[in-house]
Amino acid sequence: MKGFLRELGFNIEFAVNPRLTWTEQIAVFRTDDGGKALIRQNEKPIEMKAKAEGSEFEFDNDAWQFGVDARRTTQYGFWQNACMATMV
């Protein structure tokens, strides 16, 4: 199937998302157009945090802790470039 679509001028790329549990459906997105079907928004930039050398946490637990704080979301953009296909 992939070779047949390439002969028609389609370029196919697969991206697997293990969080999706669909068994008979597939989401298809057109990516050669200027508009995007999904838009990722960064509401807060990435900020690194650490409880490290000289902290009370290190004194009590003889360890360091590191974390990342960020806020992001994904929204629908140009929905005309997306579709859901059901495989039977």
User: pLDDT by residue (tens digit) across 29-84?
Assistant: 877 777 777 788 888 889 999 899 899 988 999 999 999 999 988 887 887 888 88
Extract the tokens encoding 30: 């057109």
* pTM strictly above 0.85: no
How far apart are alpha carbons 73 and 44 in whole angstroms? 10
Q: Residue 32: which residues within 8 A CB-CB, separation 6 or more?
A: 11
In this prediction, residues 20-37 reach a mean pLDDT of: 80
- 3-state class percentages of the chain: helix first, strand second, coil last, to nearest 5: 15, 40, 40
What residues contact 75, with CB distance under 8 A and at least 6 apart?
A: 38, 39, 41
Give the three-class secondary structure for 28: strand
